[in-house]
Structure 1
Amino acid sequence: MLLGGIADDLTGAVEFAGMLAAGGMRVALVLDDAPIPHGQDAVVVALPSRVAPVGDAVAAFGRAADALLGAGAERLFFKYCATFDSTPAGNIGPCADLLMDRVGADFTLFAPSFPEAERRVFMGHLFVGSQLVSNSPKRFDPLTPMTEPDLVKVLAPQTSRRVGLLPLPVILRGAEAVARHVAALRAEGISYAIADAGEEEDLATLARASWDWRLATGGSNLASHYPAIWREKGLLAPADAMPPLGAGGHGVVLAGSCADRTREQVDCFGARHPVMRVDLARMEAPEAALREAVEWALPKLEGGPVCVTTAGDPQAVSAAQARFGRDGAARAAEGLLGGLAKALVDAGARRILVAGGESSGAVIRSLGIARLSVAPYVSPGIGLCAAEAPVPLALCLKSGKLGPVDMFATVLEGMRA
């Protein structure tokens, strides 16, 4: 196994695995503590760790790392969000510390840039489009608000290791210049470096500088450059063509992300299809809310795809958190969508689009799915995959912040067998 990947949420894991598949690797994606399959070029483990308590996240990363290394992984890659979603306590730093110790490394880089989705890092500062992340809607994230754009300052409080910078002028001079800069940082006792990157060429340079490291971290498109390098080095054989993923049956959208883009996508879908909006702040008993959603959706399935959403604007999110607490509001939304997914699959839904990383994880776990086949990556926010058990399903698991505004209906239609 050339690469063992660990992603801190499910949509990121699907995107990560999809990019490796697009590079011609044989890839499997497993959830949590499911067994690691053999005969793969790469295995990606998806963990619900991004907003978990730090101790739980580190313990989960330890189990995943041990399983991947025990199955023969030659190197590990830690995939996190392009907006470096974390809090002063973690979980990026503590999980990276664990992985460094497991592989015995003394240095690695952090490269979250995703130029295709307009996430870029310059002089260590994260931009979303033309805005610093601290000026973007990401500052209102209900779970991981990003109010500090300097990623050196974001990461430093999360680790006892020293954090430095790998600046763009060095990267523009090529992989050998990166190697010299890394050697200088290591000589200073720096173990972690935030890497600038504005374009895919910058990430390609970082990949060429780190292709044989025991540990690297970053966004999925840093890893997307490794397969070509490994094939060039004679480490990776061509993969067999993957059969198309699809299913018949009813189509359903379950939207839990409160990102602006998800709410725009729900509005667009609602112009032609039924949408039920659940106001968490007004929800009484969770069982009654679930029953109401099921009773609303079931009669409509024969007429075409439907959407149930718990997403709200920042004021609605604040009201829900005031009532349930931050974690309680998230659990309420995830519990509702997970229970609804199970009821709708039992009623014949076979094409399911889920918006939001935590929501996707809740839905997949509610359905009892432990392993996914992932289609090659197409574009940001469209993570297509399939499950064979417990029933055959076609799935799109999307980040809340990404994807075309009109994607819900078109992707569901494209997921037909």
Structure 2
Amino acid sequence: MLLGAIADDFTGATDLCSMLVRGGMRTVQLIGVPKAGSPAPDADAVVVALKSRTAPVRQAVDESLAALHWLQAAGARQFFFKYCSTFDSTDEGNIGPVADALVQALGCGFALACPAFPTNNRTVYLGYLFAGGVLLNESGMENHPLTPMKDANLVRVLSRQTDGTVGLVPFATVDQGAGPVRDAMTRLKEQGRRYAIVDAVTNAHLVSIGAAAAHHTLITGGSGIAMGLPANFRAAGLLPEATDPGALPVLDGATAVLAGSCSRATLAQLGFARDHLPVHEMDPLATPDAAALAETALAWAGGKVGEKPVVIAASAPPDKVAALQARLGRDHAGALIEDAVARVAAGLAERGVRKMVVAGGETSGAVAKQLGVTSLRIGDEIDPGVPWTLASGSGPDMMLALKSGNFGGTDFFLKAFRMLRP
């Protein structure tokens, strides 16, 4: 194992895995912290997917450290803490506290922080994070039900989450290439800074940042930073050229889409799907009971399963999300949606669904747990950051595409299943 990564949610982990496969690294995603002493999979990179993004801070730190210790024991040479390209967190964490714990455990004293992913319109300029060409706090993320992002200045955001200090490697430096970026980060570390927010506006910037961090023990950021890492291992003679690191078998079975994300991208994808596929929308405001919601959805799916993809969604626009949270409380509302969608996933698997797209990070985590998934072999991308995977665990093998709510084109759901056709 060359790279050992810890991701704070399931779709973010898959996003990172996809980037590494694209760079020629055979990559496996593990669901949750492996048991101590369990063997590492045969892969160049292993990403441990946690459900820690919105967990209590102490839980997020403890699980991340447990994942780190397993990756260290498995022989990883470099470590990566992966969070969302929209820096999803609150003023209490969890990005800062987890990064602090990893820096301390590794004794490295310093780490870069860069969530940029220009391919998906996430860029960092002068420390400000832009999403879709507008400041993060004007992008819709200010209305996120769990991690509302109301400040686009990442130096300020991260500073509020850590007792360390945060510096900036600005665009003018990054645009000069890997050498100046490396020198700038070295200076910040010598000044006692614990973190450096690093600007990135293009994929070339991400490659430069990755090259500059070739000898860093710990890297933190979005999956975009991984764009430059495989070349480092290849230059060191540690990574051979891979012919097809994303090759997967295609399973027989029915197809389905489950959506729990309330992001603009997922809502647009559902709008497109309604014109092409049968869609059932769960209404937790009318029926705030997970078992009843799942029962109704599965009854609707009935004879539709197997004909063409069925779509079952618990997604809703911000006003309905706010109404549900006002009625049930934020945490209870989120747990209700996750529970209902997870129950539907289990019911669909019992009905022969073997190829499933899941939209939403928290939703994907709940579905993977319900299905008993413990590992994902990463395949080729459907859209940037979202690959098909071969999921294995306590149940039958399945093909899963775990999609971050913000990712994918409008036709993503149909495109995903077209990819699987011979």
TM range (shorter): over 0.9
Task: Please tell me whether residue 28 in structure 1 is matched to residue 6 in structure 2.
Answer: no
Q: Does 2:130 align with 1:127? A: yes
How many Å separate the matches in 2 of 1:19 and 1:381?
A: 7
Q: Does 1:338 align with 2:342?
A: yes
Whether 1:317 and 2:325 are equivalent positions in the alignment is no
Structure 1 CA distance for aligned equivalents of residues 111 and 381 of structure 2: 26
Map of 2:187 onto structure 1: 184
- Measured in 2, the distance between the counterparts of 1:63 and 1:222 equals 23
Give the secondary structure class of the aligned counterpart of 1:282: coil
Once the two structures are overlaid, the 10-residue window that deviates more, 239-248 or 253-262, is: 239-248
1:412 CA drift (Å): 2.0
User: Which residue of 1 is the match for residue 331 of structure 2?
Assistant: 327
**What corresponds to 2:220 in structure 1?**
217
Give 1:298-317 correspondences, 5 Å limit: 298-317=302-321
Residue 381 of structure 1 and its aligned partner are, at CA, apart by: 4.8
1:303-348 residue CA offsets vs partner (Å, 9 max, x unmatched): 3211111111111001111122111111111101101101110110
AA partner of residue 68 (structure 1) = L
Q: Is the 8 A contact 2:248 2:390 kept in 1?
A: no
Q: Say which is worse superposed, 22-31 or 376-385, in terms of deviation.
A: 376-385
The equivalent of 2:359 in structure 1 is 355
Q: How far 1:224 sits from its partner (Å)?
A: 2.1
> Which whole-Å CA distance do the structure 2 matches of 1:9 and 1:355 have between them?
13
Aligned pairs for 1:13-92 (under 5 A) are 13-34=13-34, 35=38, 37-92=40-95
Q: Which residue of 1 aligns with 2:384?
A: 380
**Secondary structure of residue in 2 paired with 1:4:** strand
Structure 2 counterparts to residues 101-140 of structure 1, below 5 A:
101-140=104-143
Report the Cα offset of residue 238 of structure 1.
Answer: 2.6
Q: Distance in 2 between matches of 1:377 and 1:196?
A: 26
1:104 Cα shift? Answer: 0.8
Q: Counterparts of 1:218 and 1:197 in 2: how far apart (Å)?
A: 11
Q: Give the SS at the match of 1:58.
A: helix
* 5+ residue gaps, structure 2: none
* Aligned counterpart in structure 1 of residue 419 of structure 2, from 409, 414, 417: 414
Residue correspondences, number: 417
User: How much is the aligned-residue C-alpha RMSD, in angstroms?
Assistant: 1.5
Structure 1 residue runs of 5 or longer lacking an equivalent are: none
Q: By how many angstroms is 1:26 displaced? A: 2.0
Letter in 2 for 1:360: S
Give me the whole-angstrom Cα distance separating, in 1, the residues matched to 2:54 and 2:327. Answer: 19
Tell me the residue number matched to 2:2. Answer: 2
Asked if 2 retains the 8 angstrom alpha-carbon contact of 1:351 and 1:416, the reply is: no
Q: CA deviation at 1:2?
A: 1.2
Residues 1:97 and 2:117 aligned together: no
Distance in 1 separating the partners of 2:107 and 2:288: 51
Shift of 1:176: 2.1
Cα offset for 1:15? 1.3
AA aligned to 1:112 is P
Aligned equivalent of 1:398, options 398, 403, 407: 403
TM-score by length of 2: 0.96
CA 1:144–1:100 in 2, change beyond 3 Å: closer, same or farther?
A: same
Q: Does the Cα contact within 8 Å between 1:172 and 1:202 map onto a contact in 2?
A: yes
